[in-house]
């Protein structure tokens, strides 16, 4: 589950919605999965556009697959693989 989710988001560059559909889960479950991956140290949040844009990630397209808008609750958030995430995702 972890490797498949990371691969969809960071290797295949799927949007949050596309990744959820590919995994057969809803947006709420996808949000829960992201929170879990973050707590486990596989990903980290780069920015949140709700506040001042003090980070280049807020306007960068490099993390675009993980930035979504809409009812999914991910407005303005960008995530990045950590070293731990890269080891499991890219081996």
Q: What is the CATH number of the domain that holds 61?
A: 1.10.10
Question: Given pLDDT bands bounded at 50, 70 and 90, which one contains residue 90?
Answer: confident
Mean pLDDT along residues 7-24: 92
- Supply the range of the domain harboring residue 51: 2-89
- Please tell me what DSSP assigns to residue 59: G
Q: Please, is 39 exposed, middle or buried when counting C-beta atoms within 10 Å of its C-beta (0-12, 13-18, 19+)?
A: exposed
How far apart CA 23 and CA 1 sit, in angstroms, is: 9
pLDDT tens sequence across 17-57: 999 999 999 989 999 999 999 999 999 988 655 544 443 44
Q: Is the pTM value of this prediction over 0.75?
A: no
CA nearest to 60, candidates 40, 43, 77: 77
Q: How many domains are there within the chain? A: 1
């Amino acid at each position: 589950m972890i490797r498949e989710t990371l691969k969809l988001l960071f290797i295949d560059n799927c949007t949050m919605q596309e990744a959820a559909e590919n995994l057969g889960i809803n947006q709420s479950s996808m949000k829960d999965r992201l929170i879990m991956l973050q707590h486990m140290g596989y990903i980290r949040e780069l920015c949140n556009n709700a506040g001042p844009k003090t980070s280049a990630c807020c306007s960068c397209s490099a993390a675009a697959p993980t930035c979504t808008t809409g009812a999914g609750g991910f407005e303005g958030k960008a995530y990045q693989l950590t070293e731990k995430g890269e080891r499991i995702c890219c081996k």
